[in-house]
Structures are given as structure tokens and as C-alpha cells.
Amino acid sequence: MKLKDIQTFVVGNPPPHHGGRYFVFVKLTTDDNISGLGEAYCVPFHPDLVARMLEDVFGRHLAGQEPHAIESIWRRVYSSGFTQHPDLTLVGVLSALEMACWDIVGKAAGQPVYQLLGGRVHERLRTYTYIYPRAGESEAVYHDADLSAERAVEYLKQGFTAIKFDPAGAYGAFDGRQLSLEALDRCERFMRQLRAAVGNKMDLLFGTHGQMTAAGAIRLARRIEPYDPLWLEEPVPPDSPEESAVVARATSVPIATGERLTTKYDFGRLLRVGGAAILQLNLGRVGGILEAKKIAGMAEVQHVQIAPHLYCGPVVGAANIQLATCSPNFLILEGIERWQGFHADILKKPVEWQDGYVIPPKAPGLGVELNEEVARRHPYQGTKLHLGMADEPVR
């Protein structure tokens, strides 16, 4: 069995764009007509160029190769062009291609990927979602603690036992910084009102996006500590795990981070300095499924847990599910609400979600199939990237 063909799909994510402006999917097919899916997360170039990158790397390093040769393929791609460095672009492309190989391997074996990585550990996977605006609603929910508390109660009634929100405000290219007193007050108010609304029935996950210096993050952590959040997310920029460790040592709130890190080398550095209690690896960026399993194993040695990150499409979500199912140190899985809407429409069969939990699939491979007709009906026609940041200093 040899890898023969590649197809790419650049799919515009319709409004309200939860999960990003677009998704970049790849489909690899072998010479005996077994196909596998992958998805690249947030590669910082226009998605049409990312599709070309996928085709280029496939042609150089995967075409004609045995899809089971994941370790060899991984090392060749990781080292291509004299790199051997955790490069976000190259490894994002590699992640999608590696993921598709695993989908093929699972289908050829007639087994879900998690069965090939040690077997099922968890019968169901606890999930969380951001607090999102209702259909047609403005983004006031991100700034209004009363409205967010109302929405948290609605999510609780749906079955969620954890909710994430990020009231700290804008984040930009010139961070980290000190949050204003107004922002600190707003953050504390969110924690107080959401905790009052849901009591001890939900974990509260406090999201930030690297806005702060370590000193600024410690100020925020002291404000929210009394309300016992499950984590404080990415308090400092991702380029300095040592500063994340400074925050971790100064607060009782668990630090979660990792969505902007890639490969075991980035995560190894983070673990060595004690920079996080929870790793938020995104399988469309981290280097793929096997690399993620290695990182989970490294974390397990230090009793650090994993909470796979998802702000993209459902193919990365499916890979996250495979990893979570076979990982003893799995904590919780990010989803886009209940995995419904366009995230379900783009698949032939949606991810199974019941009362706050994802049920791992029993189908072989990743357990999902792309609805290619829907994908082709939604081409991305914009110029903006998947996600962005303020390009001027935030005041």
C-alpha cells in the first residue's frame, strides 16, 4: 500500500464563524483506494497557499511512501530544508498529512486510531465550550458578566459541566502587558457572577491569549483565585515558557497552555520549567497524532494533564478525540458548543455528543468522513487569516 494522491479543501466557515474563518482539510488516497483525512490548524498564510504547501510537502516526502511509515515520514518532513526546528508553518502542514496517514492506517486495520495507540481508556470524554453569542446576538456576551452568567446557566442545562470565557479584552502583537484596573475589575466580576450563577455544578475556565507579563498575570490570578477556576489559560505569550512557570509558582490556579506550541521539543521545554499543569495541544499544529501521544506521555511522567485544543474544524476535533480516548492523563476536551451547525454539516456523520460528553467512535480510522459536496459549496473567498491579533499596542 503506497500513498498516491492528494486533494485539498479550503472551506469557508459560514457566520458566525465559530472555530475560525476557514478550515484547511487534506485527503490522501493510496494505490488501493483507501483515503484518509487531515486538517492543518492556523498556519499563518492565506489558506490557498497552505493548500499548495500541503501538496508540495506531499510530493516531496509522502508520495509513493507506505502510510504506516509515520516515524520516518515525520523525521524527513521535520528536517526538510535543513530545518529540524519547531516551525509552526511546516509542522502545521505535517500535522495534517500525518493525521491523514493515521486515518488510512486505522481503516486498513479496521480499527479506530485509539485502538492502535494503546486502546480505549475512557468510555466517554468530558467536554467544554466557550460562551458564544446566541444566533443574531451581538458580541456583548464577551463583555457583559450578567449576560455571560445567563448563558452559562443555559449551557449547564444542556449538560455541560465546564465553560470557558475570556473577559480580559483585546490581545495584540505587542503583548505581554499589564491589564488595566478596569479590565482586572471586569475579570473579577465575571468570575464572581458566573460562580454565583452555576455554583459548584460547573468548572470555570478563565481564558486569556498571552496578553500579560508574568507580573500582570499574577495580579489577575490573585483576583480570580477565590472563585476556584479550573485553569488560567495562556497567561503570557507562548515564546517564554519560563515566564509561564513564574506565574504557575505564584498562584494556586492551574495554568493551562499550549495551543501555540508545536512538537515535543516545545512542550518538553514547557514541562522542564514547570510552566503548566494542563497542556492544550492542538493536533492540527503540534505535529500530528503520534507526536501528540508522545507529548501526552511526557506529561504523564510529571502528572500533568492534557486538554486538547479546538478552534478550527471537526477533523482536528476527531483527531483530538482519538488521542483523548487512549490517554490516561486526559482531563477535558474543547468543542464548539455541541459539535452542531456547520461543524456537523461538513461531516457525513457528526461527532456524537451526549449530555456534556463526546462518545468516542467505533468506526475505523479517525471515525469521521468529510462531506465533500458541502466543502465545495463553501469555498473561502476572503483575504484575512484564520485568526488575528491587534496590530497596534492595546491600551
Give the pLDDT of residue 174.
96
Give the pLDDT of residue 139.
82
pLDDT for residue 138 is more than 80: no
| Residue 41 confidence class, pLDDT cut points 50, 70, 90 | very high
| Active-site hit among 61, 309, 343, 378 | 309
Instruction: List all residues 6 or more positions away from 355 whose beta carbon is below 8 Å from its beta carbon.
Output: 159
CATH architecture of 3-110: 2-Layer Sandwich (3.30)
Average pLDDT, the chain: 97
Mean pLDDT of 121-125: 98
Grid cell locating 152:
452559562
Give the pLDDT of residue 334.
98
Grid cell locating 148:
455571560
Could you confirm whether 85 is annotated as catalytic?
no
320 CB-contact burial (10 Å; exposed 0-12 / middle 13-18 / buried 19+): buried
Give the pLDDT of residue 136.
76
Task: Give the whole-number percent of the chain exceeding pLDDT 70.
Answer: 100
Give the pLDDT of residue 157.
98
Specify which residues 30 forms β-bridges with. Answer: 3
DSSP 232: E
| Residue 229 confidence class, pLDDT cut points 50, 70, 90 | very high
Give the pLDDT of residue 71.
98
Element (H, E) at 305: strand 305-306
pLDDT for residue 177 is more than 80: yes
Mean pLDDT of 202-212: 98
pLDDT for residue 91 is more than 80: yes
Give the pLDDT of residue 140.
86
Q: What are phi and psi of 173, to 5 degrees?
A: -70, -15
The string of pLDDT tens digits covering residues 344-388 is: 999 999 999 999 999 999 999 999 999 999 999 999 999 999 999
Instruction: List all residues 6 or more positions away from 200 whose beta carbon is below 8 Å from its beta carbon.
Output: none
Mean pLDDT of 272-283: 98
pLDDT for residue 134 is more than 90: no
Give the pLDDT of residue 252.
98
pLDDT for residue 119 is more than 90: yes
The string of pLDDT tens digits covering residues 15-36 is: 999 999 999 999 999 999 999 9
pLDDT for residue 73 is more than 80: yes
Grid cell locating 290:
503520534
CB contact burial 1-18 (16+ within 10 A = b; e otherwise): eebeebbbbbbbbeeeeb
Mean pLDDT of 156-179: 97
| Active-site hit among 18, 46, 85, 209 | 209
Grid cell locating 254:
492551574
Provide CATH 3.30.390.10 ranges for the chain. Answer: 3-110
Mean pLDDT of 266-271: 98
For 224, what's the count of Cα atoms within 13 Å in the CB-facing half-sphere?
Answer: 37
Sign, Cα dihedral of 257, 159, 322, 374 = negative
Element (H, E) at 317: helix 314-325
Letter for the amino acid at 32? D
Provide CATH 3.20.20.120 ranges for the chain. Answer: 115-364
Could you confirm whether 378 is annotated as catalytic?
no
Instruction: List all residues 6 or more positions away from 102 whose beta carbon is below 8 Å from its beta carbon.
Output: 36, 70, 113, 116, 288, 289, 290, 319, 322, 365, 366
Residue 385 CB coordination number (10 Å):
17
Give the pLDDT of residue 65.
98
According to the CATH classification, is domain 115-364 in 3.20.20.120?
A: yes
pLDDT for residue 137 is more than 90: no
pTM: 0.98
- Whole-angstrom distance, CA of residue 160 vs CA of residue 282: 21
The string of pLDDT tens digits covering residues 303-357 is: 999 999 999 999 999 999 999 999 999 999 999 999 999 999 999 999 999 999 9
Residue 186 CB coordination number (10 Å):
18
- 3 state SS for 180-224: CHHHHHHHHHHHHHHHHHHCCCCEEEEECCCCECHHHHHHHHHHH
